[in-house]
Structure 1
């Protein structure tokens, strides 16, 4: 072969063409190993579940969320590129246990925030009642607690004693001068759904106008009052008077159709057992709501991480 036809050195040496997919897999594997090592180290730094370590626990929760936010996109890309993105067998159970503790602590913190808010609302309500004095104490049914408004009974109210407030739709009780609000209303006021006001330890103003004696609406009341309170029917007001000449024994029973079908009317607030049952039911509802809220938060985190991973891959 002549020198003029000899091949050049550049023609004999062929440059190796790099494989972009293999390079991406290798880079992804290196990143995942670094992130998994950091995740395992963070898992081993998890503080104990004690009250005196509350601040350390909050800081650890924030760090753990950041670590998870960096690891999940790598796992997603590894599945698409068929790259092994699994943590070592020795460290896998530790990470799984710590992640379960993380989710439990997040739900616990959310529940504690709800409880603190409820306690604060109860304290504000009790302080407001104490500031008004014992004479202006409101019935239990009119106090808003734990973000649940207990509806008032749709009965007749005295315009002189109860007026609707325009600011926050709460009931305002106007007490005449020289009178007090009876904590336990009489049967007459309870049936009419009006506030029981009058002199202390004496007949209320409503019963004085009706010229009758105050009958307490509790379990010790006579059968006449219980029958009138438990079986309301539609119809006009009726008066039942004894044949005796003593006006103190006269009892006026007001029958109204204000109560809905299947609903039991509540007069003068709740008793102790009913209030306890309602409190337990509200506690169960709050617990279920907290669990659902925590699950929604975790779902939102997963969705955001998925969207970030899709954006990095250029998928809309």
Structure 2
């Protein structure tokens, strides 16, 4: 059993709400019936079990009619099918959690969409693939900040579901590409506990969408949060055994130091954008980029420079040897893949 694994450990399932009069309970039940009859069940004449999503859907509605500040809330923790314990929480603690619970609704309502950013081979002047970038949409069609989305998912223990959804969506979006183009799909290693189990839906998505595993490059992000290198290696080896490739993102410093690079043996190494910005004006950045390129080449891996925004940056990196490049200079993320002529104007 792994610590914090959502498949193994108990999770918060909802809230028990005590009311002082049966008539109030009936009013609450009537309001619930307007939303759903599947997410709740009565416990007895004075208590009601409410699922997380439904409770927060209705919270603002109830607040208009009832003085919830005076109610007692109990957080129910379930292990398997049994309620293990009930923790008392205040109304204000419940309300404080509300802003992050929309992550679950976004997943349920299929509001995760993929944007495409081109990855090019400079010498061949070809778009060799796209990085699939997850974006969530508000009901009005505006974008939600990816940082807010993923941090909220982490705070509400929804990171596993969100990361899985994004992997599947990224693979599905690859159907819009040519058979020769690569599909770069981000994944967060701390959201994967048992790769043989957690990645079954990813395998299924590739098969059902007719995409050869060798076209998919899983890009490791947030490696600075990884404190178990052996577990990460286990995930990456599973990918490789199944015919996928994998890339290390933001290589340059911190956790992604050069010893880690050697230990993980990625197929693609993405130079941290902080060493790309204004590289033509900074000798130290150029020296670091050259060092990473030499090490990458010695491992028979491919060096990719991301975050390129100018012709000068592209030129210097090409001189070093970074034939694979990515950044606004070649194209911003868009909801449809760009043509090769649009990338190389």
TM-score of Structure 1 vs Structure 2, range by shorter chain: under 0.3
Whose strand fraction is larger, Structure 1's or Structure 2's?
2
Whose helix fraction is larger, Structure 1's or Structure 2's?
1
- Over alpha carbons, which structure has the higher Rg? 1
